[in-house]
Structure 1
Amino acid sequence: MISAYTGTQIREAEQRFVQASLGAGTGAVLMQRAAYGLANAVVRELAVRGIRRYGASVAVLAGKGNNGGDGLFAAAFLAARGMRTTAVLTAGEAHPEGLAAFERAGGRVLMLTDHNAGELAASTVRADVVIDAVLGTGARGGLRGAAASLIGKLRTANHGFVVACDVPSGVDADTGEAHDPVLPADFTVTFGGAKVGLLSDPGADYSGRVLVIPIGIEEGLPWPALRRLEVEDLKALFPRPARRAHKYSRGVLGVVAGSSTYPGAAVLACRGALAAGVGMVRYLGPPEVAELVRQACPEVVCSTGTVAEAHVQAWLVGCGLDEADEQQLQRVRDAADSGLPTIADAGALPALPDVLAPQVVLTPHAGELAALLGRLGQELDRSAVEASTLAAVRQAAGLTEATILLKGATTLVASPFQDFYSQADGTPWLATAGSGDVLAGITGALMAQLGSDVGRFTARGIDPDERWAAIGAMAASLHGRAGTRASAGGPVTAGAIADCVPEVMRTL
Structure 2
Amino acid sequence: MRNAYRVEVVRHAERELMARLPEGALMRRAAAGLAAAAADLLGRVYGTRVALLVGSGDNGGDALYAGARLARRGAGVTAVLLSPDRVHPGGLAALRRAGGRAVGAEEAASGRAVLGGADLVLDGITGIGGRGGLRENAARLLRGVTAPVLAVDLPSGVNADTGEVDGEAVRAAATVTFGAWKPGLLVEPARSHAGAVRLVDIGLAPYLPATPDVVALQHADVAALLPRPGTDTDKYRRGVVGVAAGSARYPGAAVLAVSGALRGGAGAVRYAGTAAAEVLARHPEALVTDGSPEHTGRVQAWAVGSGLGDGAGAERAVREVLDADVPVLIDADGLRLADVDAVRARRAPTVLTPHAGEAAALLDTSRAAVEAGMLDAVRRLADRYRATVLLKGSATLVAGPDGGPVRANPTGTGWLATAGSGDVLSGLIGALLAAGLDARDAAAAGAHLHGVAGRTAPAPPAASDVAAALPAAWREVCAARPRRA
3-state secondary structure, aligned to 2:141: helix
Residues 240, 267 of structure 2: 8 Å contact kept: yes
The CA distance in 2 between the partners of 1:437 and 1:243, in whole Å, is: 31
Residues 163, 183 of structure 2: 8 Å contact kept: yes
Residues 293, 320 of structure 2: 8 Å contact kept: yes
1:368-383 paired onto structure 2 within 5 Å: 368-374=358-364, 380-383=365-368
3-state secondary structure, aligned to 1:109: strand
Could you tell me which residue of structure 1 aligns to residue 268 of structure 2?
280
Which residue, out of 360, 364, 373, partners 2:354?
364
Which residue, out of 68, 89, 110, partners 1:76?
68
Q: CA deviation at 1:430?
A: 1.3
Could you tell me which residue of structure 2 aligns to residue 130 of structure 1?
121
Could you tell me which residue of structure 2 aligns to residue 398 of structure 1?
383
Could you tell me which residue of structure 1 aligns to residue 467 of structure 2?
498
Q: CA deviation at 1:125?
A: 2.6
Q: CA deviation at 1:365?
A: 0.7
Structure 1 residue 247 and structure 2 residue 235: aligned? yes
3-state secondary structure, aligned to 2:401: coil
Q: 1:422 is matched by which residue type in structure 2?
A: A
1:50-89 paired onto structure 2 within 5 Å: 52-89=44-81
Which residue, out of 177, 195, 199, partners 1:190?
177
Residues 2-56 of structure 1 show CA distances to partners (whole Å, capped at 9, x for unaligned) of: 111111110011112233x1x551xx21111111101111112222xxxx32111
Could you tell me which residue of structure 1 aligns to residue 481 of structure 2?
none
1:20-39 paired onto structure 2 within 5 Å: 21=20, 25=23, 28-39=24-35
3-state secondary structure, aligned to 1:68: helix
Residues 62, 132 of structure 1: 8 Å contact kept: yes
The count of residues paired between Structure 1 and Structure 2 equals 469
Could you tell me which residue of structure 2 aligns to residue 104 of structure 1?
97
3-state secondary structure, aligned to 2:351: strand
Could you tell me which residue of structure 2 aligns to residue 426 of structure 1?
412
Q: CA deviation at 1:500?
A: 0.7
The CA distance in 2 between the partners of 1:140 and 1:427, in whole Å, is: 28
Q: CA deviation at 1:119?
A: 4.8
The CA distance in 2 between the partners of 1:293 and 1:61, in whole Å, is: 59
Residues 256, 328 of structure 1: 8 Å contact kept: no
Which residue, out of 310, 313, 321, partners 1:335?
321
Q: 2:15 is matched by which residue type in structure 1?
A: Q
Q: CA deviation at 1:118?
A: 5.5
Structure 1 residue 316 and structure 2 residue 303: aligned? yes
Residues 117, 149 of structure 1: 8 Å contact kept: no
Could you tell me which residue of structure 1 aligns to residue 444 of structure 2?
473
The CA distance in 2 between the partners of 1:270 and 1:119, in whole Å, is: 62
The CA distance in 1 between the partners of 2:18 and 2:475, in whole Å, is: 47
3-state secondary structure, aligned to 1:308: helix
Distance 1:121 1:359, change over 3 A: farther
3-state secondary structure, aligned to 2:469: helix
Could you tell me which residue of structure 2 aligns to residue 456 of structure 1?
none
TM-score (norm 1): 0.90
3-state secondary structure, aligned to 1:450: coil
The CA distance in 1 between the partners of 2:108 and 2:182, in whole Å, is: 30
Q: CA deviation at 1:412?
A: 0.6
Q: CA RMSD in A?
A: 1.4
Residues 273, 292 of structure 2: 8 Å contact kept: no
Q: CA deviation at 1:142?
A: 2.0
Could you tell me which residue of structure 1 aligns to residue 2 of structure 2?
2
Could you tell me which residue of structure 2 aligns to residue 455 of structure 1?
none
Structure 1 residue 181 and structure 2 residue 168: aligned? yes
Q: 2:436 is matched by which residue type in structure 1?
A: L
3-state secondary structure, aligned to 2:340: coil
Where structure 1 has 5 or more consecutive residues not aligned to the other structure, the ranges are 375-379, 452-466
3-state secondary structure, aligned to 2:231: coil
Residues 52-100 of structure 1 show CA distances to partners (whole Å, capped at 9, x for unaligned) of: 3211111110101111111111111111111110101112331111111
Structure 1 residue 148 and structure 2 residue 139: aligned? yes
The CA distance in 1 between the partners of 2:263 and 2:272, in whole Å, is: 19
Could you tell me which residue of structure 2 aligns to residue 463 of structure 1?
none
3-state secondary structure, aligned to 1:443: helix
Q: CA deviation at 1:327?
A: 2.0
Structure 1 residue 42 and structure 2 residue 33: aligned? no
3-state secondary structure, aligned to 1:404: strand
3-state secondary structure, aligned to 1:88: strand
Q: CA deviation at 1:291?
A: 0.1
The CA distance in 2 between the partners of 1:76 and 1:421, in whole Å, is: 38
The CA distance in 1 between the partners of 2:35 and 2:257, in whole Å, is: 48
Q: 2:63 is matched by which residue type in structure 1?
A: G
The CA distance in 1 between the partners of 2:65 and 2:427, in whole Å, is: 51
Q: Which of 247-256 and 426-435 deviates more?
A: 426-435
TM-score (norm 2): 0.94
Could you tell me which residue of structure 2 aligns to residue 307 of structure 1?
293
Residues 420, 469 of structure 1: 8 Å contact kept: no
Which residue, out of 218, 239, 247, partners 1:230?
218
3-state secondary structure, aligned to 1:413: strand
Identity %, equivalent residues: 46
Residues 195-222 of structure 1 show CA distances to partners (whole Å, capped at 9, x for unaligned) of: 1011000001101111111111111101
3-state secondary structure, aligned to 1:164: strand
The CA distance in 2 between the partners of 1:504 and 1:143, in whole Å, is: 40
